[in-house]
C-alpha cells in the first residue's frame, strides 16, 4: 500500500541492539539479587510516570535509594596481595612502578628504552613500567594503584607522601596544558568509560599533532588493468549497432532537456544519461606521494582500541586496532564541515565492505569509518561515521525484477548467435 | 442497490482484509469449519485473503518514459528470430518515442511554492511511474476521489460506516482501536491504584482487593511490550507496603465484569486486540492491473475531484528539465483575457531562476523576469536540494520528501508501496573551494545563510539520529560541495559551458552514513 512508513512507528519500543543500559540509572536493588548463585539478570522494569500517593510506591522508592546508598558507601580497601605503589614523576607528568603484578598491567603501561627513559638507563630500567596520565588516573580511581609523591631527601626511607584522588586529578588533568600533552577531562571520560567496558585503549599517533604522513594503507588500492582486447571490440561493435546513439556531452549543453525523445531499449540507458552530478568516489586511487595529513585540531583520531577478547594484542606488537576513536568536545565544536570530516577520513585506513554483500549492508558499512566520541560535560555518545559510496551501488544495474535485467540476457544470446 | 440482509451471513467480498486475520468475527464464525483430518477440530477456518493490487505490474516503469526493448531470442524457436527482425525493422523505420505524445502539464503556484497537477491521467501517470508528488487530500497517493465515492456508495447502501478501501481508512480504524485500548488501560491502572490505596487505608481487606483485581482478564495484554513486559515475572503485591522485589501486579487488564455493561463500544465483534503492525492492504481488488475505482464504476455519482497532485519544486524541475515530460505554466490569471495569448510554457532556464527565487521565504524576486544563470547564488536551497535529488534519482533510488521523519529526503529501493525507506538523507552545504574563504566569499556565504550561525550543533544531530533509529532507518549526511559563482570564476574555465547541465556539473556530492555505536555491544 502507498506510503507504508506511517505504520512503522513501532510500539514495541527500541530495537534490542539500540538499548544501552549504561545510559539509564539502574536500580541498585538488583545488585543484592545478583549476589545469589542462581540469580538471573533482571529485565528492564516498568516505570511509573507520576506519584500515586500510595505507600507501596514511596516504600519502593525508599528501598531503591537505600540500596544505592549501601552500594556506594561500601568501604574500598587495598588488597595486600595486589598492592602496587607507583611514584609520580613531575617533569614528564607520568608515574612509574616497579614490576607491578596483576592482569591490568598486562595491557597498560610500557617499559621505555634507555634513550627515552627520563630516569636514565640504570639497572632498574627493565623493571620500571611507565604509566601514562590517563592510565594512572584510571588505576587510582579503581583502587589498584597507590601513587606517591616523589620522596624528598629529608624523608629518609619513606616512599613519599601518598597522593590523594583530588591531587591525582589536579596533577594529571589540571596541569597538562603546561606540558603540552593535553589530557583533557573529555578524553579522560572516554578513556575510563572504554576501559571499564573491557577494551584495551592506547594513544594514537595523532594524539596532539596532525599525525604521521599517510601510509599506503590509507588509500584504496590502484585499479587493476584487465587485458581483454577481443572482448572490448565486440562489446563496442555491439553497442554501436544495437544500443542507439552514444551519449554526447556537447548536445546536452545546448538543449534544455537531458533525455531527448527517442528510442531507448531499457531503463538502464536512461539512467546512465541522467548521471550528471559528480560524486566523491572513495575507491578512487589518490597520488602515491605521502601527503601530510591536515586534520583539524578538534577532529583527530586520539585512541586506538582493541576488543576485550582480542587474542592478537601484545604490548610489544599490538597489531591494527579494531576501532579508532576521535574525541570531540560537544560544547566547543559544531557538526563537522566537509573539510574536517574529509581530513579525518583521509587519516583512517581503507576498509571496504565485502564485494558480494547485500546492497544495504555495503552502503552502511562504508569504505572508511571512524568513531566519534562526543563528550558533553561528561556524558559520552558514540557515533560511527562511514564514508558511503552510494555512487557505486547503481540500483538500475542490479538484477531485480522490473528493471529489465532479464532482457539483457537475451541480448547476449543474440550476439553469440550471429 | 440495497443488499439483501441474508447476504451478510456469507463471507462476503465486503469483508475488509485487515479484519480478516481475526478469527472472532461473526461472519467468519458462521462458516462451517471444514473437517480436514490434519487440522485440529477447534481451529476456525482460515478466512480468504483478499488480493491487493499487483504493485509490481502497476509500478513496472520506474520513470514516466517508455522503453521499447527488443524481444528475446530463443535459439530453440526459429520463429522468435522472425519476431525479432520484424520488431527491429519497425523500430528502424518508424522509431517509437520514449516520451508521451502529449506532454503532461502542470501549473506553478507561487503561494504554495509547488507545482499542481490537475489532470487525472497525469496524476495517475506521475504517481505510478516513479512516485512523484503527493495528493493534497490524501496521505501520499491521490486517492481522495475513490474514498469519497466509496463513502457515498456505502452511505447509500445503508451500511452506516464507510468501508473505504484506501490506506487512510485502515489507518483511521487502527488509530481508533488504539485510542480505545489506551482508555481501557488508563482506567484499569486507576482502578488498581485505587484498590491499593484502599487496602493501605484499611477500607477493604487484601482478599477483597485480590478478588476485584482478579476479575480482569488479560484481553488487553496483547500490547505486552508497553504494558506487561516487565510485569509478568513479578508476583502481584497487595500487601500493606512490604518492599519486595516486585514492583507492580500483573499486567494491564480489562475492567472487571461489574462495569462491563457500561461500555457500548465494546461490542463483541470489535475487540481491542491490536491488529498487526505491518502495512494493511486495501480491500476489494481482484483486478490485477488497475484497482476498480468506485468513481469510475458509478459515474452517476458525479463528484468533482477536489484533489490535485502536488509536486515539490525539485520533482517538478526534474520532470521538466531532466526528463522533459512535464510542461509547467503559470496559473492562468483570471483578470486578463485568455483568448489573445496562450499561456507561455516556462522553459527550464526560466524555471531555474523562478524556483531559486522561491526557495527562500519571502521569495527573492529579481527585477528581470529571467535572470541569467550565472547570477544565481550557487548555494541557494533549491540548487542544493535539486543536486541531491538528481544524484539519487540518477542512481535509481526513489526519493521522496522526508519531513515526516525530520530529514530532508527518504530513499526507497523501489517505492513506498514495496518496502519501507531504508535511508534518510540530510542535505548540508560544504564550502571547500578557496573562493569561499576569501572576503567576498564569506560575505556571500553569510547572506545565503540568512544570518544564522553557521554550522549545526550536536544536539540537533543526535535528535535526528534518534528519530531515525526509532523508525529503523539509517541517517545519511549528504554534503553538497558548492562551487564558486560563475561571475567570480575566470571566463575560460572550459568545464561545462553555460547550460543548466553545465551548472549542475560543477557540484559534487559526498555522503556519510551516521550510526550510533554501542560500546557494550561491540565487545565481541
Q: What percent of chain A has pLDDT over 90?
A: 24
pLDDT of residue B492: 44
Q: Which of A40-54, B240-254, B416-430 is the least confident region?
A: B240-254
Can you tell me the mean pLDDT for B65-76? 86
Q: Smallest CA–CA separation between B12 and chain A, in Å?
A: 22
* Residue whose grid cell is 511511474: B129
Tell me how far apart the alpha carbons of residues B93 and A323 are, in angstroms, rounded to a whole number: 62
Can you tell me the mean pLDDT for A62-82? 82
pLDDT in tens, A48-58: 778 877 888 88
Q: Chain A residues with CB inside 8 Å of B428's CB?
A: 335, 338
Q: Which residue has the higher pLDDT, A326 or B296?
A: A326
Which residues are within 8 A (CB) of A245 and not within 5 positions of it... i.e. 6 or more apart? A262
Report phi then psi at B400, rounded to 5: -135, 160
Select from A360, A403, A411 the Cβ nearest to the Cβ of B62.
Answer: A403
Q: Which of A38-42, A301-305, A311-315, A347-351 is the least confident region?
A: A38-42
DSSP state of A39: P
Q: Which residue spans within B120-183 are E strands per DSSP?
A: 134-135
Q: What percent of chain B has pLDDT over 90?
A: 28
Q: Which of A319-328, B152-161, B201-210, B286-295 is the least confident region?
A: B286-295
Q: Which of A275-284, B397-406, B509-518 is the least confident region?
A: A275-284
Q: Which of B236, B479, B487, B290 is nearest to B374 (CA)?
A: B487
Select from A56, A333, A388 the Cβ nearest to the Cβ of B237.
Answer: A56
Q: Chain B residues with CB inside 8 Å of A278's CB?
A: 505, 507-509
Confidence band (pLDDT; 50, 70, 90) for B276?
very low
Q: Which of B303, B302, B301, B328 is nearest to B313 (CA)?
A: B328
pLDDT of residue B52: 76
Is residue A19's pLDDT more than 70?
A: no
C-alpha cell at A102: 596483576
pLDDT of residue B17: 40
Q: Which residue has the higher pLDDT, B169 or A200?
A: A200
Confidence band (pLDDT; 50, 70, 90) for B262?
very low
Q: Chain B residues with CB inside 8 Å of A254's CB?
A: 499
Is residue B180's pLDDT more than 60?
A: yes
Is residue B39's pLDDT more than 80?
A: no
pLDDT of residue A102: 84
Q: Are B416 and B398 in contact (CB under 8 A)?
A: yes
pLDDT in tens, B485-520: 876 654 444 444 568 888 899 999 999 999 999 988
Q: Chain A residues with CB inside 8 Å of B96's CB?
A: 263
Is residue A408's pLDDT more than 60?
A: no
Chain A's closest residue to B276, CA to CA, is A7
CA distance readout (Å), B199 to B185, B206, B430: 21, 6, 65
Q: Does A197 touch chain B (CB under 8 A)?
A: yes
pLDDT in tens, A103-157: 888 888 888 887 888 887 788 888 889 999 999 999 998 888 889 998 876 656 6
C-alpha cell at A61: 522508592
Is residue A411's pLDDT more than 70?
A: no
Tell me how far apart the alpha carbons of residues B240 and A55 are, in angstroms, rounded to a whole number: 8
Is residue B150's pLDDT more than 80?
A: yes
Is residue B298's pLDDT more than 80?
A: no
Q: Can you spell out the DSSP letters for A153-186? A: GGGTT---PBPPHHHHHIIIIITHHHHT----HH
- What is the length of chain A? 418
- B59 and A390: CB-CB below 8 Å? no
Q: Smallest CA–CA separation between B32 and chain A, in Å?
A: 32
Best of B513, B520, B523 to disrupt the A interface (most A CBs within 10 Å) is: B513
Tell me how far apart the alpha carbons of residues A27 and A24 are, in angstroms, rounded to a whole number: 9
- A15 and B462: CB-CB below 8 Å? no
Can you tell me the mean pLDDT for B355-381? 80
pLDDT of residue A291: 67
Which residues are within 8 A (CB) of B388 and not within 5 positions of it... i.e. 6 or more apart? B408, B409, B425, B427, B478, B480, B509
pLDDT of residue A322: 92
Q: Which residue has the higher pLDDT, B405 or B25?
A: B405
pLDDT of residue A55: 85
Tell me how far apart the alpha carbons of residues A366 and A387 are, in angstroms, rounded to a whole number: 5
Best of B247, B248, B285, B323 to disrupt the A interface (most A CBs within 10 Å) is: B247
Report phi then psi at B410, rounded to 5: -115, 140
pLDDT of residue B245: 38
pLDDT of residue B368: 63
Select from B458, B497, B510 the Cβ nearest to the Cβ of A330.
Answer: B458
In terms of Cβ atoms closer than 10 Å to its own Cβ (0-12, 13-18, 19+), residue B274 is: middle
Residues 244-263 of chain A whose Cβ lies under 8 A from any Cβ of chain B: 252-263
Q: Which residue has the higher pLDDT, B4 or A160?
A: A160
Q: Which of B297, B19, B50, B304 is nearest to B161 (CA)?
A: B19
**Is this structure's pTM higher than 0.80?**
no
Most confident of A7-16, B411-420, B495-504: B411-420
Q: Which of A13-17, A297-301, B174-178, B361-365 is the least confident region?
A: A13-17
- B499 and A3: CB-CB below 8 Å? no
Provide the mean pLDDT of chain B. Answer: 74
Q: Smallest CA–CA separation between B511 and chain A, in Å?
A: 6
Is residue B230's pLDDT more than 60?
A: no
Q: Which of A111-125, B234-248, B356-370 is the least confident region?
A: B234-248
* Residue whose grid cell is 539500540: A18
Is residue A271's pLDDT more than 60?
A: yes
Provide the mean pLDDT of chain A. Answer: 78
Q: Chain B residues with CB inside 8 Å of A386's CB?
A: 512-513, 515
Is residue A285's pLDDT more than 90?
A: no
Is residue B196's pLDDT more than 80?
A: yes
Residues 205-234 of chain A whose Cβ lies under 8 A from any Cβ of chain B: none
Most confident of A157-171, A349-363, B398-412, B451-465: B398-412
Q: Which of A208, A200, A217 is nearest to A322 (CA)?
A: A200
pLDDT of residue B198: 87
Residues 256-295 of chain B whose Cβ lies under 8 A from any Cβ of chain A: 274, 277-282
Q: Can you spell out the DSSP letters for B340-370? A: TSPPPPBPHHHHHHHHHHHTSSS----SSSS
Residues 126-185 of chain A whose Cβ lies under 8 A from any Cβ of chain B: none
User: Residue B389: in which H helix or E strand, if any?
Assistant: helix B381-395
Can you tell me the mean pLDDT for A390-415? 60
Q: Which residue has the higher pLDDT, B272 or A306?
A: A306
Can you tell me the mean pLDDT for A189-193? 94
Q: Which of A152-156, A266-270, B82-86, B136-140 is the least confident region?
A: A152-156
Q: Smallest CA–CA separation between A106 and chain B, in Å?
A: 19
Tell me how far apart the alpha carbons of residues A250 and B502 are, in angstroms, rounded to a whole number: 10
Tell me how far apart the alpha carbons of residues B351 and B380 are, in angstroms, rounded to a whole number: 14
Can you tell me the mean pLDDT for A84-102? 88
Confidence band (pLDDT; 50, 70, 90) for B132?
very high
Q: Does B99 touch chain A (CB under 8 A)?
A: yes
Tell me how far apart the alpha carbons of residues A404 and B145 are, in angstroms, rounded to a whole number: 33
Amino acid at each position: 500500500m502507498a506510503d507504508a512508513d506511517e505504520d512503522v512507528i513501532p510500539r514495541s519500543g527500541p530495537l534490542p541492539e539500540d538499548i544501552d543500559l549504561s545510559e539509564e540509572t539502574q536500580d541498585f536493588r538488583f545488585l543484592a539479587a545478583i549476589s545469589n548463585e542462581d540469580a538471573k539478570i533482571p529485565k528492564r522494569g516498568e516505570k511509573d510516570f507520576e506519584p500515586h500517593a500510595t505507600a507501596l510506591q514511596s516504600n519502593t522508592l525508599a528501598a531503591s535509594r537505600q540500596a544505592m546508598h549501601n552500594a556506594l558507601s561500601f568501604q574500598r580497601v587495598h588488597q595486600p596481595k595486589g598492592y602496587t605503589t607507583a611514584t609520580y614523576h613531575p617533569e614528564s607528568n607520568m608515574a612509574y612502578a616497579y614490576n607491578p603484578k596483576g592482569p591490568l598491567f598486562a595491557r597498560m603501561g610500557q617499559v621505555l628504552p634507555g634513550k627515552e627513559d627520563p630516569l636514565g638507563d640504570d639497572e632498574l630500567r627493565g623493571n620500571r613500567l611507565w604509566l601514562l596520565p590517563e592510565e594512572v588516573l584510571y588505576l587510582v580511581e579503581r583502587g589498584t594503584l597507590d601513587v606517591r609523591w616523589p620522596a624528598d631527601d629529608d624523608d629518609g626511607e619513606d616512599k613519599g607522601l601518598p597522593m590523594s584522588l583530588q591531587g591525582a586529578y589536579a596533577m594529571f588533568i589540571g596541569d597538562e596544558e603546561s606540558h603540552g600533552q593535553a589530557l583533557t577531562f573529555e578524553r579522560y571520560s572516554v578513556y575510563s568509560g572504554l576501559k571499564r567496558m573491557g577494551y584495551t585503549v592506547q594513544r594514537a599517533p595523532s594524539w596532539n599533532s596532525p599525525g604521521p604522513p599517510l601510509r599506503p594503507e590509507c588509500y584504496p588500492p590502484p585499479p587493476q588493468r584487465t587485458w581483454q582486447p577481443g572482448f572490448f571490440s565486440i562489446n563496442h561493435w555491439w553497442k554501436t549497432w544495437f544500443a542507439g546513439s552514444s551519449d554526447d556531452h556537447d548536445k546536452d549543453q545546448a538543449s534544455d532537456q537531458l533525455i531527448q525523445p527517442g528510442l531507448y531499449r531499457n531503463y538502464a540507458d536512461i539512467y546512465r544519461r541522467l548521471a550528471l552530478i559528480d560524486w566523491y568516489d572513495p575507491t578512487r586511487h589518490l597520488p602515491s606521494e605521502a601527503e601530510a595529513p591536515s586534520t583539524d585540531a578538534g577532529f583527530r583520531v586520539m585512541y586506538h582500541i582493541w576488543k576485550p577478547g582480542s587474542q592478537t594484542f601484545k604490548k610489544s606488537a599490538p597489531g591494527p586496532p579494531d576501532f579508532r576513536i576521535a574525541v570531540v568536545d560537544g560544547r566547543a565544536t559544531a557538526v563537522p564541515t566537509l573539510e574536517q570530516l574529509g581530513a579525518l577520513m583521509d587519516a583512517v585506513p581503507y576498509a571496504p565492505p565485502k564485494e558480494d554483500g547485500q546492497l544495504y549492508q555495503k552502503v552502511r558499512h562504508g569504505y572508511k569509518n571512524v568513531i566519534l566520541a562526543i563528550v558533553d560535560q561528561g556524558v559520552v555518545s558514540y557515533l560511527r561515521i562511514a564514508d558511503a559510496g552510494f555512487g557505486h551501488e547503481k540500483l538500475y544495474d542490479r538484477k531485480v525484477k522490473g528493471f529489465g535485467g532479464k532482457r539483457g540476457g537475451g541480448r547476449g544470446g543474440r550476439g553469440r548467435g550471429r | 442497490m440495497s443488499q439483501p440482509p441474508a447476504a451478510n451471513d456469507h463471507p462476503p467480498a465486503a469483508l475488509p482484509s485487515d479484519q480478516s486475520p481475526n478469527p472472532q468475527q461473526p461472519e467468519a464464525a458462521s462458516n462451517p469449519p471444514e473437517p480436514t483430518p490434519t487440522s485440529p477440530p477447534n481451529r476456525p477456518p482460515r478466512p480468504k485473503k483478499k488480493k491487493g493490487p499487483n504493485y509490481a505490474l502497476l509500478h513496472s516503469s520506474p520513470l514516466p518514459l517508455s522503453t521499447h526493448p527488443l524481444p528475446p531470442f530463443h535459439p530453440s524457436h526459429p520463429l522468435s528470430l522472425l519476431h525479432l527482425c520484424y520488431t527491429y525493422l519497425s523500430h528502424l523505420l518508424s522509431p517509437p518515442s520514449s516520451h508521451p505524445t502529449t506532454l503532461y502539464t502542470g501549473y506553478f503556484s507561487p503561494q504554495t511554492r509547488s507545482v499542481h497537477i490537475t489532470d487525472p491521467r497525469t496524476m495517475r501517470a506521475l504517481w505510478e511511474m516513479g512516485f512523484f508528488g503527493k495528493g493534497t487530500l490524501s496521505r501520499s497517493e491521490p486517492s481522495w476521489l475513490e474514498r469519497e465515492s466509496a463513502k457515498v456508495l456505502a452511505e447509500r447502501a445503508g451500511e452506516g460506516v464507510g468501508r473505504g478501501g484506501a490506506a487512510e481508512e485502515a489507518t483511521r480504524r487502527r488509530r481508533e482501536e488504539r485510542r480505545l485500548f489506551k482508555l481501557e488501560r488508563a482506567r484499569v491502572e486507576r482502578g488498581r491504584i485505587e484498590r491499593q490505596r484502599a487496602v493501605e487505608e484499611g477500607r477493604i481487606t487484601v482478599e477483597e482487593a485480590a478478588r476485584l483485581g482478579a476479575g480482569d482478564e488479560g484481553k488487553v495484554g496483547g500490547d505486552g511490550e508497553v504494558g506487561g513486559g516487565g510485569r509478568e515475572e513479578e508476583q502481584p503485591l497487595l500487601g500493606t507496603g512490604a518492599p519486595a522485589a516486585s514492583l507492580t501486579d500483573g499486567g494491564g487488564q480489562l475492567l472487571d465484569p461489574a462495569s462491563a455493561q457500561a461500555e457500548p463500544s465494546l461490542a463483541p465483534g470489535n475487540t481491542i486486540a491490536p491488529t498487526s503492525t505491518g502495512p494493511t492492504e486495501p480491500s476489494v481488488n481482484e483486478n490485477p492491473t488497475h484497482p476498480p475505482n468506485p468513481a469510475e464504476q458509478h459515474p452517476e455519482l458525479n463528484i468533482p475531484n477536489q484533489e490535485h497532485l502536488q509536486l515539490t519544486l525539485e520533482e517538478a524541475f526534474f520532470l521538466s528539465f531532466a526528463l522533459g515530460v512535464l510542461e509547467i505554466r503559470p496559473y492562468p490569471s483570471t483578470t486578463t483575457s485568455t483568448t489573445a495569448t496562450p499561456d507561455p510554457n516556462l522553459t527550464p532556464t526560466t524555471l531555474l531562476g523562478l524556483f531559486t527565487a522561491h526557495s527562500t521565504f519571502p521569495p527573492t524576486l529579481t527585477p528581470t523576469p529571467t535572470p541569467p544563470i550565472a547570477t544565481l547564488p550557487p548555494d541557494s536551497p533549491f540548487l542544493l536540494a535539486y543536486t541531491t535529488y538528481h544524484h539519487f534519482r540518477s542512481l535509481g533510488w526513489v526519493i521522496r520528501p522526508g519531513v515526516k521523519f525530520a530529514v530532508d529526503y527518504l530513499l526507497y529501493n523501489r517505492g513506498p508501496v514495496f518496502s519501507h525507506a531504508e535511508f534518510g538523507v540530510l542535505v548540508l552545504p560544504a564550502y571547500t573551494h578557496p573562493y569561499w574563504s576569501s572576503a567576498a566569499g564569506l560575505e556571500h556565504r553569510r547572506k545565503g545563510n540568512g544570518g544564522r550561525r553557521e554550522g549545526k550543533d550536536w544536539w540537533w544531530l543526535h535528535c535526528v539520529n534518534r528519530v531515525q533509529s526509532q523508525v529503523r532507518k539509517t541517517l545519511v549526511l549528504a554534503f553538497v560541495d558548492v562551487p564558486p559563482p560563475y561571475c567570480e570564476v575566470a571566463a575560460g574555465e572550459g568545464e561545462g559551458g553555460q547550460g543548466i547541465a553545465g551548472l549542475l556539473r560543477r557540484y559534487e556530492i559526498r555522503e556519510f552514513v551516521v550510526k550510533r555505536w554501542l560500546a557494550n555491544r561491540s565487545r565481541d
